[in-house]
Structure 1
Amino acid sequence: MEVTKLIVLPAVLALFVLFLHFIKRIIKLRKLNLPKGTLGFPFVGESFEFLKANLEGKQIRFIQERMKKYDSKVFKTSLFGENIAVFCGPAGNKFLFSNENKNVQVWWPSSVKKLLRLSLVNKVGDEAKVTRRLLMSFLNPETLRNYLPNMDRIAQHHINTHWKGKEQVVVYPIIQLYTFELACCLFLSMEDPIDVSNLSSYFEEFLKGIIGFSINFPGTRFHKAMKAADEIRKEIKMIMKKRKVDLDEKKASPTQDLLSHLLATPDTSGRFLNEVEIIDNILLLLFAGHDTSRSVLSLVMKYLGNLPQVYEQVLKEQLEISQGKEAGELLQWEDIQKMKYSWNVASEVLRLSPPVGGAFRDAIKDFTYADYNIPSGWKLHWNTHTTHMDPTLFSNPEKFDASRFEGEGPTPYSYVPFGGGPRMCLGQEFARLEILVFMHNIVKRFKWDLVNPDEKFKYDPMLEPENGLPIQLQPSQYTW
């Protein structure tokens, strides 16, 4: 009996303390001037409405309806079991981007945390700064320019293998072969088509479980994603084991790819990333380095197919670049700098149809914003649609107009497909090169018509075409 009391009494006291803490929290929240909005049902909140809007390709509807109903500056909701304040407009973006490690820090749903573990996406504070600096020393323009000719070679080989001689292709799955092959080559020096294909198959399962409820039960998306992540890590670990030997024996170069870079380069404190950190960061970059670009390039193909006048201007710019080169000469850094109109086109695609709708932060202290109280522990969200489709920032926002990016370009904090501040997408320059190299090669080789010009795109979780975007190809008269 005495033993039972010793076990039960502390447990009861602990539950009582938790209950008091919960009541105290509720009383505190009721005294606060929280943003307007609704938290929906317990735990699930408005998650199903949010996911439904994503799958219908109407995330913008979910955001704009609540901005109009509650407040255009900030509103509250509940997603994935968390109370969330959605910050809107350039002022909201500026506040979140400029308050990293002051009032806020990065946060992701538990599905992301569990799948991407010790990668940069889950690190905060000084640890995040150090890891980001190490990764950026490989992903900066000065380093990537050395890989540009190889990127051009991969794009040409991809088009010759998967597009040449075809009357019809389904864009989304085929472009994934290009973006994933490119990521595997630059990050792991993996070029064998069978190895690339095998690894790619796991990423499809991984991607579908990345955002959502982290219910690790057989049959769920998250369970499949966890299993896929395990297989991807096993493959990276085998490659890393061999690479360590090759580096020791001088059979591999420290600048060969991202893997060699991480194995051979310490961070600013002199510390080398451990094995798990290297694997998790390469997993992150393989995922981010090809899925978002696949989405953007599919949308570029859609817009160029629907807008022949824009296609002709892109083609004209790319032909002028080719005409100044020797036969068979690969793209160089100076050529990329000449692709101003093509990048304006890609930027307008990113404005109209950003592959990722936004990201999350965590309030690390109580603060006030727009006269509302934001409690510590609440999650915060910024969303591209609050600015990209705002007619006061982009006149006629539904219209495709690449000239928006000429001169000084959009208002600060209004164009945010890559985020902003200390957490800005570190793969931005890699994505720019990946997109422009593909555009350069595809427009010279083909014109195309969309089989279904009105095909919808949906967020699942990246923006993707419902039917893969089939197109009819016509070979171009230009062969160089």
Structure 2
Amino acid sequence: MDLKENKFFSIGLVFLATIIFIKLLAALFRSGSKHRQPPIVKSLPVIGGLLRFMKGPILLIRQEYQKLGSVFTLNIVNRKITFFVGPEVSSHFFKAPEVELSQQEVYQFNVPTFGPGVVFDVDYSVRQEQFRFFTESLRVSKLKSYVDQMVVEAEDYFSKWGECGEVDLKYELEHLIILTASRCLLGREVRDKLFDDVSALFHDLDNGMRPISVIFPYLPIPAHRRRDRARARIAEIFSTIINSRKVSGKSEDDMLQCFIESKYKDGRPTTDGEITGLLIAALFAGQHTSSITSTWTGAYLLRFKQYLAAALDEQKKLMKKHGDKVNHDILAEMDVLYRCIKEALRLHPPLIMLLRQSHADFTVKTKEGTEYDIPKGHIVATSPAFANRLPYIYKDPDTYDPDRFAPGREEDKVAGAFSYISFGGGRHGCLGEPFAYLQIKAIWTHLLRNFEFELVSPFPEIDWNAMVVGVKGQVMVRYKRRKLSVDT
């Protein structure tokens, strides 16, 4: 009996030693491998880093970047979010094909707002065709006609101001941009006859996009019920307009007309529902971002007088060359104003997080040469708000300095692709970027040429609580009407 026990004991020791040896060997191989999974952010059991993420993702990224580097993973309940910080590791994020990194799953919360059958409610091949419709509606020949409409809207809107006074610049620019978007995107019928009705409906759509909507987009709360009623009413309005245009044969210079005339590769025309959904998506993509960027641009120009003086000098030179005329080609010559807008957008990108769903394992390499394996199933995230302020790319990154984009300096290009990601980049770069710059340039060209301004409220703060991160509170300015000339 003792002999048997000793035999079993010996066998057990050998078995245990073998297991330990195998584990040590595996650990040795792992430590010698150049590949490993990203470090994990320390977090609470079960809920993980949910509370920290909801409190402020930028603060979280800043803290963990300092501790863990440019790639790290955060557990949130049953999901894993892997963050990429910097252009070196973000390249795959922007360039990967849809089968590897997709938008569809992470942006499903937009479906109740945009509607069925468009953008994130269709497979990738259909979505690509719908993006082609957007591209065609924003080609240069179309943009030229849109600019003419933007100029008219700006002239009409600011003609209602007095000789002098005080206004909330944020409020004024928000209202002008929705008017401009209504004319260029939604069409003359909406702008001339139905603006107040459609604007109120879009307000309900907008307010139906809450932080809780990202997780529970169909939760039966009052904001969602108002959203759904507004979406149904907007569909009715646009169906009537679309049918009227088709019956009358009338054609307009707007995005609505482009979508009406669009056809899929198989020859199928767009449906009324698809046209409505695409228009809603276009307005949501551009309205907030443009009004926010217009406001920041103005606030910085009024705070830093040297850049305001440079922008005014540019306007004088262009007026000497072209007179008072403003069109697409003249706006394209405004390099100083362009850099002022771009720098405001670098410091304050309205979309602070970009997300993808990983469908395949892949590897990224940091600028230090460390390689990480990113597993299938992770949500992958990058933050324009954080990446745009990396000190090894931008000198004094928290300082407003439009000249950092001037010829000979061009800090965003020196560091390589994806160093500036306010409009995203790669396969999913923002299609409306040219439209946005033209719209903001058209507005500020009119303001610079016709008014003197003084910022009378404190310099604005960032509203981190908004879904699209913008300007907190009012931006009060004192204005006085004037006419800029080449001699002033």
TM-score (normalizing by structure 2): 0.82
Change (3 A) 1:240 1:449: same
The residue correspondences of 1:118-133 to structure 2 (distance < 5 A) are 118-121=117-120, 123-133=122-132
TM-score (normalizing by structure 1): 0.83
CA distance in structure 2 between the partners assigned to 1:446 and 1:79 by the alignment? 50
- CA drift at 1:365: 1.4
Contact 2:354 2:381 in 1 (8 A): yes
Q: Secondary structure at the match of 1:462?
A: coil
CA distance in structure 1 between the partners assigned to 2:158 and 2:77 by the alignment? 41
Change (3 A) 1:333 1:437: same
Q: Select between 265-274 and 135-144 the one with higher mean Cα deviation.
A: 265-274
Name which one, 1 or 2, has greater alpha-carbon Rg: 2
- CA drift at 1:225: 4.5
Q: Which residue does 1:50 correspond to in 2? A: 53
Within the alignment, does 1:461 sit opposite 2:467 as a pair? yes
Q: Which residue does 2:341 correspond to in 1? A: 346
- CA drift at 1:101: 1.9
The residue correspondences of 1:271-420 to structure 2 (distance < 5 A) are 271-325=268-322, 329=325, 331-370=326-365, 371-407=371-407, 409=410, 410-411=412-413, 412-420=417-425
Counterpart pick for 2:39 among 36, 56, 69: 36
CA distance in structure 2 between the partners assigned to 1:345 and 1:352 by the alignment? 11
Change (3 A) 1:246 1:276: closer
Contact 1:167 1:474 in 2 (8 A): yes
Q: Secondary structure at the match of 2:137?
A: helix
CA distance in structure 2 between the partners assigned to 1:235 and 1:80 by the alignment? 37
Contact 1:109 1:212 in 2 (8 A): no
Q: Secondary structure at the match of 1:50?
A: helix
- CA drift at 1:468: 2.4
CA distance in structure 1 between the partners assigned to 2:446 and 2:126 by the alignment? 40
Indicate the percent of aligned positions where both proteins have the same amino acid: 20
- CA drift at 1:42: 6.6
Q: Which residue does 1:471 correspond to in 2? A: 477
1:119 maps to amino acid: V
Unmatched segments (≥5 aa) in structure 2: 1-29, 366-370
Provide, for residues 244-270 of structure 1, a one-character-per-residue CA deviation record: whole Å limited to 9, x for no partner.
2322322x21x5322222122213332
Within the alignment, does 1:246 sit opposite 2:245 as a pair? yes
The residue correspondences of 1:148-167 to structure 2 (distance < 5 A) are 148-161=147-160, 163-165=161-163, 167=165
CA distance in structure 1 between the partners assigned to 2:97 and 2:184 by the alignment? 30
1:243 maps to amino acid: I
CA distance in structure 1 between the partners assigned to 2:129 and 2:364 by the alignment? 30
1:291 maps to amino acid: H
- CA drift at 1:155: 1.0
Q: Secondary structure at the match of 1:414?
A: coil
Provide, for residues 269-328 of structure 1, a one-character-per-residue CA deviation record: whole Å limited to 9, x for no partner.
32222232221111111111211101100101110111111111111212332344456x
Q: Secondary structure at the match of 1:127?
A: helix
Contact 1:449 1:471 in 2 (8 A): yes
Contact 2:73 2:82 in 1 (8 A): yes
Q: Which residue does 2:11 correspond to in 1? A: none
Counterpart pick for 1:65 among 42, 59, 63: 63
| Cα RMSD for the two superposed structures | 2.7
Provide, for residues 21-74 of structure 1, a one-character-per-residue CA deviation record: whole Å limited to 9, x for no partner.
xxxxxxxxxx99532233745775434433433xxxxx53332111112222x1
Contact 1:84 1:378 in 2 (8 A): yes
2:422 maps to amino acid: P
- CA drift at 1:147: 2.2
Provide, for residues 226-260 of structure 1, a one-character-per-residue CA deviation record: whole Å limited to 9, x for no partner.
5235414422432332332322322x21x532222
Change (3 A) 1:44 1:234: farther
Contact 1:186 1:258 in 2 (8 A): yes
Q: Select between 37-46 and 287-296 the one with higher mean Cα deviation.
A: 37-46
Q: Select between 421-430 and 264-273 the one with higher mean Cα deviation.
A: 264-273
Q: Which residue does 2:199 correspond to in 1? A: 200
Within the alignment, does 1:87 sit opposite 2:92 as a pair? no
Within the alignment, does 1:183 sit opposite 2:181 as a pair? yes
Change (3 A) 1:238 1:463: same
Within the alignment, does 1:231 sit opposite 2:233 as a pair? no
Contact 1:111 1:213 in 2 (8 A): no
Q: Secondary structure at the match of 1:179?
A: helix
Q: Secondary structure at the match of 1:167?
A: strand
Provide, for residues 110-160 of structure 1, a one-character-per-residue CA deviation record: whole Å limited to 9, x for no partner.
432443343325555322221111211001223211222111111111112
Q: Secondary structure at the match of 2:211?
A: coil
Change (3 A) 1:174 1:362: same
Q: Select between 93-102 and 427-436 the one with higher mean Cα deviation.
A: 93-102
Q: Secondary structure at the match of 1:398?
A: coil
The number of residues matched between the two structures is 436
CA distance in structure 2 between the partners assigned to 1:51 and 1:194 by the alignment? 41
CA distance in structure 2 between the partners assigned to 1:80 and 1:270 by the alignment? 45
Counterpart pick for 1:173 among 171, 174, 182: 171
2:284 maps to amino acid: F
Q: Select between 136-145 and 205-214 the one with higher mean Cα deviation.
A: 205-214
CA distance in structure 2 between the partners assigned to 1:112 and 1:44 by the alignment? 24
Unmatched segments (≥5 aa) in structure 1: 1-30, 54-58
Contact 2:106 2:356 in 1 (8 A): yes
Change (3 A) 1:204 1:34: farther
Q: Secondary structure at the match of 1:304?
A: helix
2:143 maps to amino acid: L
Counterpart pick for 1:257 among 242, 254, 257: 254
Q: Which residue does 2:12 correspond to in 1? A: none
Q: Select between 338-347 and 89-98 the one with higher mean Cα deviation.
A: 89-98
Q: Secondary structure at the match of 1:279?
A: helix
